[in-house]
Chains A and B, each alone.
Chain A
Amino acid sequence: MDLNDTPELAEYRTKVRAWLLAHKHEAPDGRGDDEASVAARRAWQRRLAEGGLAAVTWPAEYGGAGLGPLQQVVVNQEIGRAGVPGIFDIIGVGMLGPTLIAHGSEEQKQRHLGPMLTADEVWCQLFSEPAAGSDLAGIQTRAAQQEDGSWRLSGQKVWTTNAQHASFGLLMARSNPDVPKHKGLTMFVVPMDAVGVTVRPLRQISGEAHFNEVFLDDVRLAPGSEVGPIDGGWGVGMTTLMFERVAIGLGGEGFGWRADRFAHALLADEACTRDAETRHRFGEIATEFLALRFTGYRMLTSLQRGQIPGAEGALAKVTTIRAAIAAGDLICDVLGPEGLSDERFGELVSDMPGLKSAGGTEEILRNMVGERVLGLPPEPRLDKGIPFSELRAREREAVA
C-alpha cells in the first residue's frame, strides 16, 4: 500500500500546482449557467487546455497531454486544492472525445477534437430517449440513409446536458429496424444548428434546468457523419458509457461530496455534534464516503496496470448516490427548513432523486453487477433475437 507520488509524479504535481498558482486569478468564480458565466467557464477551459490540464489522457497528436489516469487524478486533486473550477465540457472532453478517438474517422478527429478541447465548440450526448433509458438499445430515433449517402434523422432525445450550449452532439439512432435491436444502431455527429434541431430545457426539482429535450425533425446529415460502422453504433456507445462509469466512479469527491466537508457543515449547530443520533448517522455516512475514496484508489491501481475498469465501478455509483442522499437528509435535518434553501445542501437534496437514475438506474446497475461480477443468470428476456420492428408491433399489441 503506497499512496505517495513517485518522484516523476511528484514532479508533475509540482508543475501542475505552479501553473494553477500562476493562472488562478484568471479563473471564474461561479458555476452559473447564464450566458456570461458560461462564456467565462469556456474561456477558463481554453486556458486549462493551453496549460495541458484539460485533456490529460488524450494522445498528444490530438492536443492532449498523452498521460495516464494517475496524472488525471493529480490534475483533479490540484484543481480542487487551488479552489478553481475544472473544465466546462466534462461530457465532451471526458466521454465523447475519447469515443471519437477510439471510433471516429481521421477526418472527424482532425475536425472536432481541437475545438472540443478549447471549448470553442461544446458537445452534448444524444443517447437516451423518453422511451429508451435503461433499455437504451430500444431507441426509436430513425436514421434513413439516402441514395447520395446522406442521412435523414427524426426523433426525440432527452436528459441532454449542455444541449443549449452545444455546437455538436454525438447521437445514436436506429439505422435498420428490421434486425434485432442492438444490431441496427448507428452513431452520428450532429451539428446542433442543423435545420430541424430544437432544444427545450427541462426543469428539475431544484428549479434549475441542467438537462434538455432535443427534438429532431427531418434533420439532414452529410455523408460520412456516422461514427464507426453503420449498424455498429451499439459498440461505439458502450465505449462512451465505459468512460462515463470511470468518471463517475472516480468523481464523487469532485462534486465536493466528502466526509470532511459534511463534518464542517454540522458545526453550524455545535450542540448537534454532541447528539448521539446525529453522530451515529454521520458516522455511517462518513464511512461510506471514506470507502468511496479508497475504492477510487483501488480502481486507479487497476487502471494503471492497464486493466479495463469492470462492472464493479457501478457499485461505486450506487454507494455515491446512497451516501449523498443520506448526507443531504442529515445536514438539512440539522439546519432545519433553512437548509433546503441553502445553495449547497438544498440543491443536494433536490438533485439526488434524479441523479439516482442518471448514468444507469440503481436497479440496472445492480443487474449488471449481479450478472457480470457474480455470474448470476439474467432475467428471461422477451426481446432476444427479434427484429426491432416486430418487437414494437408486439409491444403495441400487448398494450392494446
Chain B
Amino acid sequence: MNFALSDEQEFLKEAARSALSRVKTVEAARSALDGAALPDLWPTAVEAGWPGLLVSEANGGAELSALEAMLVFEELGRVLASVPLLGHLPATFLLDRSGAADLVAALARGETRAAFVPARPPSDLGEGWTVEPAIGMTRAPAPSCSGGKVTGAVSWVPDAPGAEHLVVVLDDGRAVHVRASDAIVELATVYDVTRSLGHVTLEGAPATLLELGDRDAAAAWYIAQALIGAESIGAIEVALEVSVAYAKERHTFGRAIGSYQAVKHELVEMLRGLDNARSLMYYAGWAAQDKPDEFPLAASALRVAAGRALDHAARAQISVHGGIGATWEHDAPLYFRRAQLSRRLLGGTAGAADRVAGELLTAARAKAA
C-alpha cells in the first residue's frame, strides 16, 4: 500500500508551478475585471504537454491518468490561471477513446482546441442525461441526435469560446463530435473573468457519433467534477498561506492576531477543509485508475469537499484580513469570485453532494436486496 504522490507526480506539480510562475496571472485576473485581455497561456500549456495529458501515447499524448490532470489543475487553481483545459481534457478523453486518431493527435499537440459540452449522467432518482439551463435550477434534457444532426442547447459550457471542436453528450448517453463552426457559441463569461464560458446552441448541426464504451460519457462528466475540485484545492492552499502569513504579522492589542483562538481556529478550519479535500483527490485519482466503479462517488465527494472548503476559505481569507480583504487592493476578492462561480458550474457543489448520496444509497439498496 502506498497512498502518496510518486516522485514523478511531485515533479509534474513542481514543473507546472514553475511554468505558471513566469506569468503574473493573479495581477492579470484583476486587470481583466477592468477589461484588459488575459495573457495567452496556451503556449505554456502546449510546451508542458498538458493538452495531450489524457490522450494515449498511440495518438501522440502523454497517456497520464486523471490524477496527473488534477495535479496540474491544483497548480492552475493556485494562481487563477486561465487555461482552457477544463473543456479540453474531458473532450480529448472521449475523442481518444473513440479512435479519431488524426484529430486527437492535433488536439494533443495543442494545434487546435476542443470543448466538452457536458451532460450529467442519470441518478438513482431516475432523471435522464441533463444539462445546465441558462437561468434557474431546473436542468434541461441534453441535446438529441437523429439522422446525423444534433439539436439542443447547453449553457455555461467551460472553454467553449474559441474551441474548434465540440464533444457533445446526448440525452441517451452517447456522444458526438460537432465542429464549432456548425454550432452557435455565445460568450457567457461572467463574474470570474479567468473562467471562459459559453452558451452552446445546436440547430441540426452535422454530428459524428463517437464509438465509446458504456461508461465513457459518464466518466468524462466525473473527470470534469474532479478537475474543478482539484482546482479549488489549489485556491484554498493560497488563501490559507496568505492568511496565515498575515495573521503572524498583523498585531492588535499588542499581539499577533494569529495568537487569538478565534482567528487561529478559523485558519485551522481552512486547513481541515484542505486536508479532507486532498485525501479525496487522492481517492478520486486512485479510483479513476484502479476502481472505476467508485469513480463517480470519489469524484463527486472530491467536488463537495473542495467546493465547501473553498467557499469557507475564500470568506475566511477576507475576514482574517479585515476590511482590506474585501477590496481590490487585495487578491482575496479574486479568489472569492472564483469560489462563487465554481460552486454553481457543472451541476454545482450541491448537485455533487446529491450525487454522493445517490451513489451510496444505490450501493446500499443493492446490498439490502
B-binding segment of A83-91, A256-264, A334-342: A256-264
Q: A259-B360, A312-B275 are in contact. Are A298 and B353 (CB under 8 A)?
A: no
Q: Is A146 an interface residue (CB 8 A)?
A: no
From B3, B67, B258, B286, residue with most partner A Cβ within 10 Å: B3
Q: A301-B1, A375-B244, A375-B248 are in contact. Are A294 and B279 (CB under 8 A)?
A: yes
A366-388, CB < 8 A from B: 366-367, 369-371, 373-380
Q: Is A319 an interface residue (CB 8 A)?
A: yes
Count residues of A near B (Cβ-Cβ below 8 Å): 56
Q: Is B367 an interface residue (CB 8 A)?
A: yes
Q: Is B4 an interface residue (CB 8 A)?
A: yes
Cβ proximity bits B250-291 to A, threshold 8 Å, 1 near / 0 not: 000001101111001101110110011101101101100110
Q: Is the CB of A267 within 8 A of B361?
A: yes
Q: Is A105 an interface residue (CB 8 A)?
A: no
Rounded to whole angstroms, the CA-CA distance of A115 and B315 in the bound complex is 55
B-binding segment of A1-9, A130-138, A343-351: A1-9
Q: A315-B272, A376-B264 are in contact. Are A267 and B286 (CB under 8 A)?
A: no
A-binding segment of B159-167, B181-189, B300-308: B300-308
Q: Is A284 an interface residue (CB 8 A)?
A: yes
Residues of chain B within 8 A (CB-CB) of A70 are 1
Nearest chain B residue, comparing its CB with the CB of A3: B1
Q: Is the CB of A5 within 8 A of B1?
A: yes
Nearest chain A residue, comparing its CB with the CB of B243: A374
B-binding segment of A23-31, A173-181, A217-225, A272-280: A272-280
Shortest distance between the CB of A265 and any CB in chain B (Å): 9
Q: Is the CB of A9 within 8 A of B280?
A: no
Q: A287-B305, A288-B276, A300-B3 are in contact. Are A376 and B283 (CB under 8 A)?
A: no
Q: Is A266 an interface residue (CB 8 A)?
A: yes
Nearest chain A residue, comparing its CB with the CB of B276: A291
Q: Is the CB of B267 within 8 A of A374?
A: yes
Rounded to whole angstroms, the CA-CA distance of A293 and B286 in the bound complex is 13
Q: Is B350 an interface residue (CB 8 A)?
A: yes
Nearest chain B residue, comparing its CB with the CB of A283: B353
Residues of chain B within 8 A (CB-CB) of A205 are none
Q: Is the CB of A367 within 8 A of B264?
A: yes
Q: Is A50 an interface residue (CB 8 A)?
A: no
Nearest chain A residue, comparing its CB with the CB of B285: A1
Residues of chain B within 8 A (CB-CB) of A273 are 357, 361
Q: Is the CB of A274 within 8 A of B125?
A: yes
Q: Is A297 an interface residue (CB 8 A)?
A: yes
Nearest chain A residue, comparing its CB with the CB of B303: A287
Cβ proximity bits B300-321 to A, threshold 8 Å, 1 near / 0 not: 1100110010000000000000
Residues of chain B within 8 A (CB-CB) of A290 are 280, 283, 297-298, 301, 356
Label chain A's interface by main secondary structure.
Answer: helix
Identify which of B3, B265, B353 contacts A294 (C-beta below 8 A).
B3
Q: Is B210 an interface residue (CB 8 A)?
A: no
Shortest distance between the CB of A278 and any CB in chain B (Å): 8
Q: Is the CB of B290 within 8 A of A3?
A: yes
Q: Is the CB of A300 within 8 A of B360?
A: no
Q: Is the CB of B276 within 8 A of A319?
A: yes
Rounded to whole angstroms, the CA-CA distance of A290 and B277 in the bound complex is 10
Rounded to whole angstroms, the CA-CA distance of A9 and B2 in the bound complex is 13
Q: Is A304 an interface residue (CB 8 A)?
A: yes
Q: Is B22 an interface residue (CB 8 A)?
A: no
Rounded to whole angstroms, the CA-CA distance of A369 and B274 in the bound complex is 13
Shortest distance between the CB of A230 and any CB in chain B (Å): 34
Q: Is the CB of B276 within 8 A of A295?
A: yes
Residues of chain B within 8 A (CB-CB) of A287 are 276, 280, 301, 304-305, 308, 353, 356
Shortest distance between the CB of A75 and any CB in chain B (Å): 14
Q: A264-B367, A295-B275, A376-B244 are in contact. Are A284 and B304 (CB under 8 A)?
A: yes
Q: Is B58 an interface residue (CB 8 A)?
A: no
Residues of chain A within 8 A (CB-CB) of B2 are 1-2, 301, 304
Residues of chain B within 8 A (CB-CB) of A294 are 3, 279-280, 282-283
Q: Is the CB of A370 within 8 A of B304?
A: no
From B256, B304, B305, residue with most partner A Cβ within 10 Å: B304
Residues of chain A within 8 A (CB-CB) of B353 are 279-280, 283-284, 287
Q: Is A318 an interface residue (CB 8 A)?
A: yes
Residues of chain A within 8 A (CB-CB) of B364 are 260, 263-264, 266-267
Q: Is the CB of B356 within 8 A of A286?
A: yes
Nearest chain A residue, comparing its CB with the CB of B255: A380
Rounded to whole angstroms, the CA-CA distance of A280 and B358 in the bound complex is 10
Q: Is B13 an interface residue (CB 8 A)?
A: no
Shortest distance between the CB of B281 and any CB in chain A (Å): 9
Nearest chain B residue, comparing its CB with the CB of A73: B1
Nearest chain B residue, comparing its CB with the CB of A282: B357
Rounded to whole angstroms, the CA-CA distance of A390 and B300 in the bound complex is 57
Q: Is B247 an interface residue (CB 8 A)?
A: yes
Shortest distance between the CB of B232 and any CB in chain A (Å): 13
Q: A369-B268, A374-B268, A374-B271 are in contact. Are A283 and B67 (CB under 8 A)?
A: no
A296-312, CB < 8 A from B: 297-298, 300-302, 304, 312
Rounded to whole angstroms, the CA-CA distance of A300 and B4 in the bound complex is 10
Q: Is the CB of A291 within 8 A of B280?
A: yes
Q: Is the CB of A373 within 8 A of B259?
A: no
A55-75, CB < 8 A from B: 70
Nearest chain B residue, comparing its CB with the CB of A261: B364
Q: List the 8 closest pairs (A to B, CB-CB), nearest first.
A: A283-B353, A291-B276, A297-B3, A370-B264, A263-B364, A376-B258, A294-B279, A283-B357
4 further contact pairs, Cβ within 8 A, besides A267-B365, A284-B304, A377-B255: A375-B244, A376-B247, A377-B258, A379-B260
20 A–B contact pairs at CB < 8 A? Answer: A1-B290, A2-B1, A3-B286, A4-B1, A263-B361, A274-B125, A280-B350, A282-B356, A283-B357, A287-B280, A293-B283, A295-B279, A297-B279, A302-B4, A315-B275, A319-B272, A369-B268, A370-B265, A374-B258, A376-B259
Hey, which bits of chain A sit against chain B, CB under 8 A? 1-6, 9, 70, 259-260, 263-264, 266-267, 273-274, 276, 278-280, 282-284, 286-288, 290-295, 297-298, 300-302, 304, 312, 315, 318-319, 363, 366-367, 369-371, 373-380
